[in-house]
Amino acid sequence: MTTAILKQPTQPTAVRKPNRSFVHGLITNKKALVGMIVMLVFIVLALLAPILFPGDPSRITAMASLEPSPEHWLGTTAKGQDVLALTVHGSRSSLFVGLTVGFASTFIGILVGLASAYFGKFIDEALSLVTNVFLLLPGLPLLVILAAFLPPGLGTVILVLIVTGWAGSARVLRSQALSIRSKDFVAAAVVSGERAGRIMFREILPNMASIVMGTLLACVIYGIGAQAGLEFLGLGDVSTVSWGNNLFWAGNEGALLTGSWWVFVPSGVCIALVAFALALINYAVDEVTNPRLRKIKAPKITERSAAK
Amino acid sequence: MRFILRRLGFYLIAFWASITLNFLLPRFMPGDPVSRMFARTQGKMQPEQIDALRKLLGVDDRPIWEQYIDYLHNIVTGNMGISISRFPTPVTEVISSQIGWTLLLGGTALVIAAVVGNLLGILAAWRRGGVIDSALPPVLVFIGSFPYFWLAMGALYLFGVVLGWFPIRHAFTDGLEPAFTWEFIGDVGAHLVLPALTIVLVSIGGWMLGMRNTMIATNSEDYITMAEAKGLRPGRIMLRYAARNAMLPSVTSFGMGLGFVVGGALLTEVVFAYPGVGYQLLNAVQGLDYPLMQGLFLTITAAVLLANFLVDILYVRLDPRVRSN
C-alpha cells in the first residue's frame, strides 16, 4: 500500500484519502470502538430475543418479586414475570423506535436546513418560522397533549417523536449550512452555474458530514429517551414490551418502595448504555473530523517526522 | 433596532401559528372529547361545564371561522376558559398559581447548570488533557445517558426514602402557610434541593462539552497567540479573550433552556410531585381537562417565544455582526 503511494503520489489517491482516513480514524479511536461494540451487543440481543427467550416475555412464569437467582438471573417482577426476558425483549421496541425516529428526523432536518441556508430570503424565513414553531412546542408537553387526543399505539409514538424531534436537528444543520454557504467555494459554485441541488448536496452537505452524523446520533438518543419518558408517564402503548414500559410497570407496582431494585435497574441501565455508546461514537466522530479536538500526541509526531 | 422589530414581528407570527395549531388540534383529532369526558364523569357534569367544553372544543354548531375569531378574541383578552377538574376556577388562575414554582425550580437548575458547566468547559479547554478535561466529560456524559426520570427516582429513593435527608414530595411542607419568613423559605429550599440537583446533574455535561469544544476553536485563533505574546496573564487571556468569544453558542443554549424551563421540567415535577405547570399538565391530561391542557400549552409556548426574543435582544448587544447585517 505504502509503496504504491510512494510510486504514484498522484491526485486520485489523494482525493480518496479523506474518506478512508475517516473510517480508519473511527475504527482506531478507542471511544468509537467501545461505543460500536456496545451497540453491536444490543442489536444482536434484540435480534436474538425470540430465540433466547421464546414466547411472550410478559407471561407469568414464577413467584412474585423473587430476588436474582440462577433460575431468574434478574429476578422477577411483582407479577412474577422474568425481568431478564422483559429487558431483552424490551430492546427490540426501544431500538426500533430510536433508530426510526433518529433517521427520519435527521433526514427532514437535512432537507429543511439545506434549503433554508441555500435559498435564504423568503424560503429561509418561511422554513425558519415552521422550524421555530415546532421548536417552541416543547417536546414533552406536546407529546403529552397529543397523547391526550390520539389513540395510543407504537405508530403514534413514532409519529409524535418525529414531529417534535426534527426541528432541533433542522436548526443545528441550518446554522452550520449557513456558515458554509458564505464560504468562497460555494460562491464559486454558484457563479460557475451549478444547479441548486448539486450545490446543496454535493458542495455543502459533504462539508458538514460530522454535524449530520452528530445530529443523527443525537436524534437516536433523543428517540430512545423520549419514548422511555413518554411510556414512563403511561402515555405510550402499554401493551408492548419496551424499556420505558418496563419502568412504567416497575413504578406502578411500587418496585422501589418494596425494595425490589432488580426490577427497576436493568431497563434504566440498558437505556443509559445505549445512549452512552451512541454519545461515545458521536464524541469520536467529532474528534476524527475536527483535528483540533484530537488528543495532542507531541512525542509521536516528532517520531514520525524524524522517521521521514 | 430594525433587527429587533423584524424579530418581534416574526415572534408574533409564530405565536399566532401556535394559537391556530392549538385551535385546530382538538377539532381535527379523531373521536369526540366531550362525549369521552361525559362518559368518564358518568353524567355528573353540570350543564355549564358541558356548554363551556363544547364551546372550547368547537363542538358547537357554528361555522368554523366564527369559532376561530371567537377563540382568537378569547386568547387576546386572556380568557382561556374554565378548568373542568377544578370547576369553576378559571384556567388562568390555575396556571398563575403554579407557574411560579416551575420558574423557581427550572430557573435555579438552569442557572446553576449553565454557570458551573460553562466554567468547567472553560477550564477543560484551557488545560487540554488535564484532570478536568480527561476525567470529567466521560463521567458527565455517562450520567447524562441515564433516562432523567430514572435518575430522579433513584435519587428520590436513596436520599428521600432510605436516608431521609430530603423531603420526597411537594414544594413545601403540608400545612405551612406561604409567607416571606425564614422558616418557609428554608422549607422551600429543602424541597428544591433534590429536584434541582437531578436536573443539574443531567444537563451539566452538555454545557461543559459545548463550551469546551467552542473554546478549543477560539484557543487557536491568532488573537490568543497575540495576547500571549503581549505577556498578558493567562487568567485574563482565558476569560476575557478566549472564553468571551466562545460564549455565543452558550447564550443561544441558555435562551432555549430558558424556554424549556417552563415545559421541560415536566418529568422532574411528576417524579417529585412538584406543584408546577408540568405536573399540572399531566394531571389535566389524566383528568381529561381540555381547557386547562390548552391553557397550559399556550402559556408554555408564550414563554418559549419570550425567552427567544430576549436572547435576540441580548445577541444584538453581544455580536456586532448581527447589527451590521
CA gap B15, B7 in Å, rounded:
12
Inter-chain CB proximity A139 and B264 less than 8 Å: yes
**Residue B18: closest C-alpha in chain A:** A133
pLDDT at B91: 80
pLDDT at B1: 73
Greater confidence, A167 or B263? Answer: A167
Inter-chain CB proximity A147 and B293 less than 8 Å: no
Coil, helix or strand for B266? helix
pLDDT band at B264 (very low <50, low <70, confident <90, very high): low
Instruction: Flag the least confident range among A46-50, A90-94, A141-145, B266-270.
Output: A141-145
Instruction: Flag the least confident range among A31-40, A139-148, A247-256.
Output: A139-148
B296 neighbourhood in chain A, CB within 8 Å: 141
Which value does ipTM take for this structure?
0.72
pLDDT at A74: 74
Write down the mean pLDDT value for chain B. Answer: 79
- Please indicate if any CB of chain A lies within 8 Å of the CB of B305: yes
pLDDT at A106: 93
Greater confidence, B55 or A122? Answer: A122
Q: How far is B8 from chain A (nearest CA, A)?
A: 12
pLDDT at A3: 45
Q: How far is A148 from chain B (nearest CA, A)?
A: 6
CA gap B280, B93 in Å, rounded:
13
pLDDT at A300: 40
Greater confidence, A260 or A4? Answer: A260
- Inform me whether the pLDDT recorded for A55 exceeds 60: yes
Nearest residue to A87 (alpha-carbon basis) of A238, A247, A239, A226: A247
- Inform me whether the pLDDT recorded for A304 exceeds 70: no
- Inform me whether the pLDDT recorded for A145 exceeds 60: yes
pLDDT at A302: 39
Question: What element of type H or E holds B83?
Answer: none
Coil, helix or strand for B82? strand
- Taking CA atoms, A299 is separated from A306, B128, B199, in Å, by 10, 16, 41
pLDDT band at A14 (very low <50, low <70, confident <90, very high): very low
- Mean pLDDT (whole number) for B166-176: 71
Nearest residue to B6 (alpha-carbon basis) of B283, B321, B316: B316
- Please indicate if any CB of chain A lies within 8 Å of the CB of B301: yes
Coil, helix or strand for B85? coil
| Backbone φ, ψ for residue B270 (5° rounding) | -70, -45
pLDDT band at B228 (very low <50, low <70, confident <90, very high): confident
- Please indicate if any CB of chain A lies within 8 Å of the CB of B300: yes
- Inform me whether the pLDDT recorded for A139 exceeds 80: no
- Mean pLDDT (whole number) for B246-266: 76
Inter-chain CB proximity B31 and A136 less than 8 Å: no
Q: Assess contact for A57 and A77: CB atoms under 8 A.
A: no
Among A residues 36-75, those touching chain B with beta carbons less than 8 Å apart: none
Beta-carbon contacts below 8 Å between A and B: 135
- Inform me whether the pLDDT recorded for B99 exceeds 80: yes
Instruction: Flag the least confident range among A178-192, B106-120, B155-169.
Output: B155-169
Query: Could you tell me what percentage of chain A is helix, strand and coil, using 3-state DSSP and rounding each to the nearest 5?
Result: 75, 0, 25
Coil, helix or strand for A121? helix
Percentage of chain A exceeding pLDDT 90? 10
In chain B, the DSSP E strands lie at none
- Please indicate if any CB of chain A lies within 8 Å of the CB of B135: no
- Please indicate if any CB of chain A lies within 8 Å of the CB of B308: yes
In this complex, the residue of A149, A251, A276 whose CB is nearest that of residue B29 is A149
Interface-testing mutation among A145, A233, A247, A261, with chain B (most B C-beta atoms within 10 A) = A145
**Residue B146: closest C-alpha in chain A:** A272
pLDDT at A292: 66
Say if residue B138 is preceded by a cis peptide, omega within 30 of 0. Answer: no
- Please indicate if any CB of chain A lies within 8 Å of the CB of B281: yes
Count H helices and E strands in chain A, helices first. 13, 0
pLDDT band at A109 (very low <50, low <70, confident <90, very high): very high
CA gap B162, A257 in Å, rounded:
10
In this complex, the residue of A137, A271, A290 whose CB is nearest that of residue B147 is A271
Q: Assess contact for A29 and A287: CB atoms under 8 A.
A: yes
pLDDT at B175: 66
pLDDT at A41: 92
- Inform me whether the pLDDT recorded for A225 exceeds 70: yes
Nearest residue to A232 (alpha-carbon basis) of A247, A211, A250, A214: A247
B146 neighbourhood in chain A, CB within 8 Å: 268, 271-272, 275
pLDDT at A181: 85
- Please indicate if any CB of chain A lies within 8 Å of the CB of B206: no
Identity (one letter) of the amino acid at A37? I
- Reported pTM: 0.76
Inter-chain CB proximity A292 and B220 less than 8 Å: yes
As given in the structure block, the three cell numbers for residue A27 are 475504527
Helices (H), B29-98: 33-41, 47-57, 64-76, 91-96
pLDDT at B122: 87
pLDDT at A138: 67
pLDDT at A303: 39
- Inform me whether the pLDDT recorded for B203 exceeds 90: no
B128 neighbourhood in chain A, CB within 8 Å: 296
As given in the structure block, the three cell numbers for residue A227 are 419514548
B213 Cβ neighbours under 8 A, 6+ residues apart: A286, A290, A293, B125
- Inform me whether the pLDDT recorded for A216 exceeds 50: yes
Instruction: Flag the least confident range among A204-208, B168-172, B252-256.
Output: B168-172
Greater confidence, A47 or B186? Answer: A47
pLDDT at A296: 53
Greater confidence, B224 or A107? Answer: A107
Instruction: Flag the least confident range among A21-25, B111-115, B144-148.
Output: A21-25
Inter-chain CB proximity B14 and A232 less than 8 Å: no
- Inform me whether the pLDDT recorded for A7 exceeds 60: no
Q: Assess contact for A221 and A278: CB atoms under 8 A.
A: yes
- Taking CA atoms, B246 is separated from A83, B214, B221, in Å, by 47, 6, 11
Write down the mean pLDDT value for chain A. Answer: 79
Among B residues 14-33, those touching chain A with beta carbons less than 8 Å apart: 14, 17-18, 21, 25-26, 29-31, 33
As given in the structure block, the three cell numbers for residue A78 are 411483582
- Inform me whether the pLDDT recorded for B61 exceeds 80: no
- Inform me whether the pLDDT recorded for A103 exceeds 90: yes
- Inform me whether the pLDDT recorded for A21 exceeds 70: no
Identity (one letter) of the amino acid at A64? A
- Inform me whether the pLDDT recorded for B71 exceeds 60: yes
3-state secondary structure A98-123: HHHHHHHHHHHHHHHHHHHHHHCHHH
Identity (one letter) of the amino acid at B114? A
Helix A154-181, helix A83-119: angle, nearest 10:
40
Identity (one letter) of the amino acid at A225? G
In this complex, the residue of B18, B30, B285 whose CB is nearest that of residue A136 is B18
Among A residues 253-282, those touching chain B with beta carbons less than 8 Å apart: 256-257, 264, 268, 271-276, 279-280
Tens of pLDDT, residues B277-299: 888 888 888 777 777 888 888 88
Inter-chain CB proximity B145 and A296 less than 8 Å: no
Q: Assess contact for B7 and B297: CB atoms under 8 A.
A: no
- Please indicate if any CB of chain A lies within 8 Å of the CB of B165: no
pLDDT at A107: 93
As given in the structure block, the three cell numbers for residue B257 are 433552556
- Planar angle of CA B104, B107, B109, nearest 5 degrees: 105
pLDDT at B54: 67
B30 neighbourhood in chain A, CB within 8 Å: 149-151
A247 neighbourhood in chain B, CB within 8 Å: 147, 149-150
Inter-chain CB proximity B278 and A268 less than 8 Å: no
Inter-chain CB proximity A247 and B33 less than 8 Å: no
